[in-house]
Amino acid sequence: VRDRLDLLPLRQPVAARGNAARVFARQDLLDALARPERYRIFGHADGGQILAASEFALADAQVLLRQAYGDLVSFGAVSVHTYCDPASATPMVPVMFVRIDAPRSHLQEVLGSLKARGAEVKDCEIRRDRVLVRAELEFLRALGLERHLAEQTDGAGHFLSWLMRYQPAARSRGNTAS
């Protein structure tokens, strides 16, 4: 049975000072701020860590902490959670399902962006004025994709993603473009 926190594969350290450091020392207060299916905040030492399901969820948690504590909190580098499978000693990486709804005129740009990130396109549904693309890709390679597609489509594209599974890192590397 997997740890439920593995469903929140995006991680970011948070440093806290002053009153914020006192709050981070009390996990019950941090639990009150959480949206468990989207993000959780864990306190440790002089700060804590945000665990998030997606980049959008991470941004929500950052905004919440900034609104509550302003400059008393600062954020470290974002990382993607991986783990070593205890049975096989194989490194495991998270794989995301992405669904992109964009103007049909941007189809080649969307497909090019997905291909450049090593995505496996599962379905491409062409409609009258829009295209719906469904794909899978390693979460690390998906970072920044939503913002990139918004820029490519001048904000006319819609992006959804969610964690599908963890898979062996070697398998994932075999499916990505260099």
Render pLDDT for 49-82 as a digit per residue (tens, 0 to 9): 999 999 999 999 999 999 999 999 999 999 999 9
pLDDT tens sequence across 103-131: 999 999 999 999 999 999 999 999 999 99
Which token pair is 96? 């995301």
- Nearest residue to 96 (alpha-carbon basis) of 141, 139, 51: 139
Q: What is the pLDDT of residue 49?
A: 95
DSSP 71: G
Spatial separation of the C-alpha atoms in residues 54 and 44, rounded to whole Å: 22
Angle at 70 between CA 68 and CA 74, to 5 degrees: 110
Distances (CA, A) of 122 to 63, 119, 160: 34, 9, 15
Provide the pLDDT for residue 171.
61
Q: Is the pLDDT of residue 161 over 60?
A: yes
Mean pLDDT over 165-173 rounds to: 76
pLDDT for position 178: 29
